[in-house]
Amino acid sequence: MLRSRKLIVTTAIFAVVVISTFAAIYISGNSISSVLGNEEPDEQVMKEETATVSQQESPKQSENSTVQDQEQSTANVENTAAEQSETIEQTKENKPGEFKKVKVKVKAIYLTGISAGSTKTLDKYIDIINKTELNTVVIDIKDNGVVNYPSAVPFVAENGLSVKYFDPEKVIKKLHDNNIYVIARLVCFRDEGLALKNTDLAVKRIDGTIWKENKRKNTGAWTNPYKEEVWKYNIDIAKEAISKGFDEIQFDYVRFPTAKKSEVSYGENVPTKVDAICSFLKLASQELHSLGVPVSADVFGIIAESRSDGEAIGQDLERVGLDIDGISPMVYPSHYANGQEVNGVVFEKPDLDPYGVVYQTMLKIKNRTALVPGYKAVVRPYLQSFTAKWLKEGYYMNYGPEQVRQQIKAVNDAGYEEWILWNPGNIYSEAIFEKE
């Protein structure tokens, strides 16, 4: 088992802090993506590209929100942390088929595969982690349709769908030597590599051609989340990542694309999108738990406020956390529409109120999940550690340490303890984090 990084001794307690064990959207007409090094400054790297959920399309979303959700008693927020802030747990001493748990609280930064492969960058953040509250890194292992290190998964290897951005064993050993928990971020269904190499698995237009998210650049093909072959492909990549030493698998883009119904066809008599996504996560969880590793998933923050938006992409807040160990709602203030209502509070300029937006979103999530028997997923949001310069002047501000700390405070005030920071260029100021 990984040893704790910090030893804290008090008068009566000898505590070992175990360090172990979660992006975008079409905003104001600008496209943003999760691919490092976009050519245009206004296409800064985020988690999700060209999403058209009403969070970004409309200045008013309350008409699409469920009134019943908004009226849930805030008394739920007072629930003890026993259920709502239970952390993902894991051990490094599991036997095959055994899934033991040891509590941890993730405080993380996100790194691309390129950053992980840079000795200078990796050493810089290891040093910061060793001096601060941070204890975890999230590293891209598959994004933009390619695995970020040489892969032996047959279809990946046979079709040249991997690059050598970093050596996972070497990187993980260095991180583990510093008692740092390592999460593998695996982009699932937005996978142009697989979609173009096996077109039978791609999301198709009504006329049978491949649907692509970015029409201007003719890129952004998706794989079909209904296809079990796609499920297996991603699970196989996850299993390989576990064999290389990753402590947790985090699925991103675990959803349907935001294509209009008139644009695509998934066939006749198919299950609901929510059923498909939940079935994938259940299967992945079963297979990866057998290897002793937790499973988490990234979800849109807006699904806490709007059931219709969640159903459109296959993410249902109440169901998505039933079979996995954690969810990471992307609650970036910049990704909410001007005038967006969150938990009964209207935010005319969301990016200017990082505390309010995150706090109300987390309260809404807590209220809803508190009503679900057996809800097992830890909630650890992705927080905004970037400046949304693509927004109109007067509607955004510079996000420095103070704005990030406001979001962290909001998470804590809502009764949660875990979080992950997202910056597309992997630039994180040490001033953000509390010293330890």
- Give the span between the Cα atoms of 186 and 431, in whole angstroms: 29
Confidence of residue 374 (pLDDT cuts 50, 70, 90): confident
* CA 291/CA 293 separation, integer angstroms: 6
**Cα–Cα distances in angstroms (integers) from residue 136 to residues 107, 129, 185, 415, 417, in the given order:** 6, 8, 12, 20, 14
Say if residue 56's pLDDT is above 50. no
pLDDT at site 103: 61
As a dihedral over the C-alpha atoms of residue 294, residue 20, residue 85, residue 309, rounded to 10 degrees, the angle is: -50
Q: Cβ distance 387 to 403 under 8 Å?
A: no
Q: What is the pLDDT of residues 208-237, one digit of tens each?
A: 999 999 989 999 999 999 999 999 999 999
pLDDT beyond 50 at 40: no
Whole-number mean pLDDT of the chain? 83
Q: Does the pTM exceed 0.95?
A: no
Whether the Cβ atoms of residue 121 and residue 115 lie closer than 8 Å to each other: yes
How confident is residue 11, by pLDDT bands cut at 50, 70 and 90? very low
- CA max distance for the chain: 72
Number of Cβ within 10 Å of residue 312's Cβ equals 23
- Decide if pLDDT at 78 tops 80: no
* Residue of 417, 317, 367, 363 whose CA lies nearest to 76: 367
Q: What is the dihedral of CA 60, 63, 65, 68, to 10 degrees?
A: 140
Q: Is the pLDDT of residue 54 over 50?
A: no
Residue at token pair 């890194």: 137
Q: State pLDDT tens for residues 392-433.
A: 999 999 999 999 999 999 999 999 999 999 999 999 999 999
What CA–CA distance (Å, rounded) separates 379 from 205? 35
Which domains are delineated in the chain? 6-432 (3.20.20.80)
Residue 348 has pLDDT above 60, yes or no: yes
DSSP 210-266: BPEEETTTTEEE-B-TT-HHHHHHHHHHHHHHHHTT-SEEEEES-S-----TTTEE-
Res 18 pLDDT > 90: no
**pLDDT band at 10; cut points 50, 70, 90:** very low
Report yes or no: 44 and 334 within 8 Å, Cβ to Cβ: no
- Rounded CA-CA distance 161/387 in Å is 32
Instruction: Check: CB of residue 403 under 8 Å from CB of residue 388.
Output: no
Radius of gyration of the chain (CA): 20
